[in-house]
Amino acid sequence: MSNRMRMSGINSGMDTQSIVEQLVQAKSTKKEKIKKNQTKLEWKQDAWKTLNAKLYSLYSEQFGTLKMQGSFKTKKASIVDSSIASVTADGGAVNGTQTLAVKQLSKTAYMTGAKLAGATSSTVVGNYFSAEDRNKWFTDGTRAQVQDTDENGEPRVDGEGNPVMVDGDETYQPIKYIVQDAAGNKKAVVAIAYDMTMEQIAEQFSNAGFNASFDSNTNRFFISSKKEGEAGNFTLTDENGNDVLNGTDSPVNDTAVNGSNLTVYERSRAVLGALGITAQAAGDGYIKGQNAKIELNNVEYESTTNMFQINGLNITATKESDYTTSVDGEGNEVRKYATTNISTQTDVDGAYNMIKNFLKQYNEIINEMDKLYNEKPNKTYEPLTSEEKDAMSDEEVEEWEKKIKDSLLSRDDNLRTLINTFKEGMAAAYTTSSGKTYSLASFGINTLSYFEAADNEKGAYHIDGDADDEKTKGNDDKLRQMLTNNLDDTMDFFNNLAKNIYGKLGDMMARSDYRSFKSLYDDKALKKEYEDLEKDLKDEEQYLSDYEDKWYDKFAAMEKAMEKVNSKSNALAGLFGTGR
């Protein structure tokens, strides 16, 4: 409405504001109708958005799956001795029975360090070991150069003023270890200094590509490869390439006086051994990584992990098979592993449940669409105004609006097209690659009779012999029989049915002037209709504002006229002495 400031009724004594409001209110019928149409259109858009989401789910998840041949070629596998392995099967697995033996499980290269009594993650290496050991392991006989001093402690210089340098204390050097992979390739360098904490040493190994930590609860280093199997094996060498992880000599040379008397190998072994990170030190252990090995049908297969994918079978080994030993003619031990059986067959239950789930979702959608389409048009109820809502309870408002919303898609053209597309596609007959023609009835899948089906459920399909369907569970289970005895024709039929409806829905969801991509209703047209109503509403509001201003102008003119009349009356009264 207009925002103009007004003063009225001063001379006439009339409540002109109330009069104008009533006049405008009488003219507001069209505005209220536009707003109500807008509300109904919003509700209709919401109803379509909700239904469209369900339809797209049916399209992509159900029809999209059903049209793929691989969906029917699922297999299931079982194993007699499930303690040694678990088995699943892909569609390419061969039906039948196969033998399996697990000869060896995969292991990851793993180092459990020796216990370092009293050490925590914050313990500094140099403080944890004795000064004598520290001097032996972390010094190499070199000394830092420092400026000499005289008897007074003053820095000495030569005749040219240059500092006089002398050997200072022995220099502490970090011990460097070369990390080599299973193939002997250099991968990283680990440097251990005397002032490092145990946690920092663990970080050095982590940065070198290991899983590493120092556990303060057990006072041990734990270091493992990030690669499984033999490929994860590693070793540590000194800077000269000597293996210090698996060395067999004593890790500490007690006869050495200082670092200058130790070789690089001895110093490297000493530090590593003192930290409990050697394969032979008491209380620790280095487990080499190994590949898993199985025999399937007497053929050996090897994997870095315990998982194998062989001709459609997915085998996860969990325990080594029992075996007996014997000696061959050359005196070599020969192991004979016990085998267990793996059985693979077509997953009829899986295919049956896929079709059943498809029909369940289809029935829910077709029933809902039938109900929305068949609802009687509502010509009595209109959206409530704010004043009308205030006069009703929340329950009454909800019930009132439900009557309108339930009938918004009654006899909707888009909805009729969708219903017909589904019903025609489901009722059609399809020819398989074998040349035979089938319909859903060929598989014991039918709608109920007209009098047996509930209202708005006459388009729903039921499977004969379905234990969960009270209407048809007593009938012969033709679907399961067809899946068991003629999988190819069953698969072809449902593939063709799904492709037919899937293709038609896809065409309907193509972008056009009236609808957006993936929309099964004219969402653009509804949006345009709403925008047109929004424009009409603004035009009507402007008209009412102008209408209001017009009446206020008229009353204002009347007030001015009355003011002049009153002014003249008062003047005359004064002349005749009747005024005050």
- pLDDT of amino acid 256: 42
Whether residue 576 has pLDDT greater than 80: no
Among residues of the chain, what percentage have pLDDT more than 70?
88
pLDDT in tens, 454-511: 999 999 999 999 999 999 999 999 999 999 999 999 999 999 999 999 999 999 999 8
Tokens describing residue 411: 């006899």
Q: State CA 322 to chain mean position distance.
A: 42
DSSP string, 137-175: HHEEEEEEEEE-B-TTSPBPB-TTSPBPEEEEEEEE--E
- pLDDT of amino acid 548: 74
Tokens describing residue 555: 């009353």
pLDDT in tens, 211-222: 999 999 999 999
- The arithmetic mean of pLDDT across residues 168-192, rounded, is 88
- pLDDT of amino acid 261: 65
Cβ proximity of 356 and 462 under 8 Å: no
CA-based nearest residue to 62, from 521, 498, 432, 507 = 498
How far apart, in whole angstroms, are the C-alpha atoms of residue 58 and residue 52? Answer: 10
- pLDDT of amino acid 290: 94
pLDDT in tens, 24-82: 676 767 888 888 889 999 999 999 999 999 999 999 999 999 999 888 888 999 999 99
- pLDDT of amino acid 562: 75
Containing 578, the helix (H) or strand (E) segment is none
Residue type present at position 543: Y
pLDDT in tens, 384-405: 988 889 999 999 999 999 999 9
Residue 5 burial by Cβ neighbours in a 10 Å radius (0-12, 13-18, 19+):
exposed
pLDDT in tens, 273-313: 888 887 654 445 788 899 999 999 999 999 999 999 999 99
Tokens describing residue 419: 């219903």
- pLDDT of amino acid 56: 95
Q: How far apart are the first and last CA of the chain?
A: 43
How far apart, in whole angstroms, are the C-alpha atoms of residue 571 and residue 428? Answer: 99
Residue 507, sorted as left (phi over 0), alpha (psi -120 to 50) or beta, turns out to be alpha
Cβ proximity of 148 and 155 under 8 Å: yes
- Local confidence band at 14 (pLDDT 50, 70, 90 cut-offs): low
- pLDDT of amino acid 578: 52
Whether residue 3 has pLDDT greater than 60: no
Tokens describing residue 219: 């006072």
